[in-house]
Homo-oligomer: A and B are copies of this chain.
Amino acid sequence: MNNITSYIKENKERFLNELQELLKIPSISADSAYSKDVLKTAEVIKISLSKAGCNLVEIHETAGYPIVYGEKIIDPKLPTVLVYGHYDVQPPDPIKLWDSPPFEPVIKKTALHPDGAIFARGACDDKGQMYMHVKALEFMTETDQLPCNVKFMIEGEEEVGSNNLALFVKENRNKLKNDIILISDTGMIANDVPSITTGLRGLSYVEVEITGPNRDLHSGLYGGAVANPINILSKMIASLHDENNHITIPGFYDKVEELSKAERAEMAKAPFSLDEYRKALDIDAVYGEEGYTTNERNSIRPTLDVNGIWGGYIGEGAKTVIASKAYAKISMRLVPNQDWEEITELFSKHFETIAPKGVTVKVTPHHGGQGYVTPIDTIGYQAANKAYTKTFGIPAIPQRSGGSIPIVSLFEEELESKTILMGFGLDSDAIHSPNEHFGVWNYLKGIETIPYFYKYFTEMNRS
């Protein structure tokens, strides 16, 4: 790839400005109050794809938010890369914990990002990482170095389960036909330790509602005499883990892929400092499933976490009330072979079973997706690894991520092609948290590395 470093150097300011403009739009897919902004973001992506060189760009309406599709086909005989990303973002709350407004991007230096990082919701997940691909395409078309065909599929519902994308994929198998799917929606171990994500956890996300008495009650007159939905919900949640932090839902582990000693030993080689991990989170100890290391707990093991809980009086001061209802949002991260719909079913059955008399339970599935594991002996993986080696100077480490991109396993099923997860963010970039950011160096390094993937992938396919 000729002149790539100089091209990036010359256009650095513009690359940063374009991304910051994109980050100013609060495209929060989970909150309908922002629907106009989500739709506006799709329009912006469409325009940026045309400018970057796509010769066909379309906005596909869905039952939810639209999918932006773009392509540049230079020769049907050449391989085709399908880039997937999303333009929607997580809700920013708790707002008060942000040092700067989530939708007013600012660049600040940090210990891990001495060249500065862009602070804004979506900076890393996924606007920043998705836009690297747009700018990489721009470079390849501007300099006539695009070695193969490329297709873009950018959706607006990744943070809420990608339900409509699944339908779109099923209905557009031909349009989306490709030889490899490329996604930057994961992280890497460190700026000097490039890694390629070879595994993702599946997800089952549910909301539960516990109803006790038909109205809020005075806790003095009724306290101790009726089932208190909040106490009961706490009891039920507590019972979902045993004393070894194993999940107690019957059948939950039946299909869990157990890694061999050798595989676990290989994993353990990834550089990791428990002290630094604890220090970064300001906790005196880690906590999790007995018999597994921290890196295993958040990658190869399924987990259950309450993401939100509420009920009763949560205002200022005190109210002596027994609430009629209590609620929780609960998500389970799943590992290969666990089917998210089956797990959702197992959870619902179990949760209803453990409810004592005096309350009723309602479980509402939110969304979910299967886990994914990709082999490392494929052309796709080798091409990616060669690209990292070229731009980072060292090969990438294969790494299982604890996160979920529910759609990936569906891609393999429907489009019959593998996915390469080239992530350039860091775990400490606080995605889904206040003060999310993305290193300027990482952003530009991604733009530099991606074209090499196209180059090597095309060459390896030829030979």
Q: Which residues of B contact A230 (CB under 8 A)?
A: 237, 305-309, 328
- Cross-chain contact B225 with A297 (CB below 8 angstroms): yes
Assembled-state Cα–Cα distance A419/B239 (Å):
45
**A167 lies within 8 A of chain B by Cβ:** no
Given A216-B94, A367-B318, A403-B221 contact (CB < 8 Å): yes
Q: Mark A87-108, 1 if CB is under 8 A from B, else 0.
A: 0001101100100000000000
Cβ B223 vs Cβ A231 within 8 A: no
Judge whether B317 and A402 touch: CB under 8 Å.
no
Q: Is the CB of A309 within 8 A of B314?
A: yes
Contacts of A231 in B (CB 8 A): 237-238, 241, 305-306
Question: Which residues on the B side are within 8 Å of A238 (C-beta)?
Answer: 231, 234-235, 237-239
Tally of chain A residues near chain B (CB < 8 A): 103
Q: Does any Cβ of B come within 8 Å of A266's Cβ?
A: no
Shortest Cβ gap from A435 to chain B (Å): 7
CB contact under 8 A between A402 and B312, given known A231-B237, A306-B231: no
Q: Give bound CA distance, A71 to B205, whole Å.
A: 63
> Which of A46-54, A425-433, A438-446 sits within the interface?
A425-433
Asked if residues B93 and A285 are in contact (CB atoms below 8 Å), the reply is no
Is residue A281 contacting chain B, with contact meaning CB distance below 8 A? yes
> A228 in the interface, Cβ–Cβ < 8 Å?
yes
Q: How far is the CA of A292 from the CA of B160 in the complex (A)?
A: 48
Alpha-carbon distance A316/B160, docked complex (angstroms): 11
Q: Is B358 a contact of A216 with CB atoms below 8 Å?
A: no
A356 to B285, CA, bound (A): 9
Which residue on chain B has the smallest CB distance to residue A316?
B31
Whether the pair B366, A333 counts as a contact (CB closer than 8 A) is: no
Chain A stretch 173-228: residues in CB contact (< 8 A) with chain B = 187, 201, 203, 205, 207, 212-228
Contact partners of A431 in chain B: CB under 8 A: 218, 221
The answer, among B203, B212, B427, for a CB contact under 8 Å with A283, is B212
Interface residues of A in 282-339 (CB under 8 A from B): 282-289, 294-295, 297-298, 301-324, 326-329, 331, 333
Cβ contacts under 8 Å, A284 to chain B = 357-358
- Known contacts A238-B234, A310-B309, A314-B310; A297 and B224 CB within 8 A of each other: yes
| A309 CB contact (under 8 Å) in B205, B212, B289, B326 | B326
A273 in contact (CB, < 8 A): no
Q: Is the CB of A312 within 8 A of B318?
A: no
The answer to whether the Cβ of A161 comes within 8 Å of any Cβ in the partner chain is yes
Q: How far is the CA of A288 from the CA of B298 in the complex (A)?
A: 39
On chain B, the residues within 8 Å of A307 by CB distance are 219, 230, 312-313, 318-323
Residue in A29, A220, A285, A331 whose Cβ sees the most chain B Cβ within 10 Å:
A220
Minimum C-beta distance from A330 to chain B (A): 9
**Does A147 have its Cβ within 8 Å of any Cβ on chain B?**
no
Q: Is there contact, CB below 8 Å, between B331 and A318?
A: yes
Interface 0/1 of A413-431, CB less than 8 Å to B: 0000000000000010011
Q: Looking at the assembled complex, report how far the CB atom of A144 sits from the nearest CB atom of chain B, in whole angstroms.
A: 39
If the complex has contacts A31-B316, A317-B31, are A301 and B224 also in contact, measured as CB distance less than 8 A? yes
Q: List the B residue with the shortest CB-CB distance to A237.
A: B234
Given A228-B305, A287-B358, A402-B224: A281 in contact with B31 (beta carbons within 8 A)? no
Give the complex CA separation of A401 and B93 in angstroms: 43
User: What chain B residues lie within 8 Å of A305 (beta carbons)?
Assistant: 219, 223-224, 228, 230-231, 322
Q: Which residues of B have CB within 8 Å of A367?
A: 318
- Counting CB contacts under 8 A, is A404 at the interface? yes
Distance of A405 from chain B, by nearest CB (Å): 9
B226 near A432 (CB under 8 angstroms)? no
Contact in complex: B308, A311 (CB < 8 Å): yes
Chain A to chain B contacts (Cβ below 8 Å), 8 pairs: A91-B317, A215-B433, A220-B402, A225-B294, A231-B238, A284-B357, A307-B312, A310-B314
Note all chain B residues with C-beta closer than 8 A to A310. 309-311, 314
Q: Is there a chain B Cβ closer than 8 Å to A434's Cβ? A: yes
- Is the CB of A379 closer than 8 A to any CB of chain B? no
Tell whether, in the assembled complex, residue B313 and residue A356 are in contact, meaning their CB atoms are under 8 Å apart: no
Min CB distance A125 to B, Å, is: 8
- On chain B, the residues within 8 Å of A282 by CB distance are 213-214
Contact A331 B326 (CB under 8 A): no
Report the separation of the CA atoms of residues A237 and B367 in the bound assembly, to the nearest whole angstrom. 29
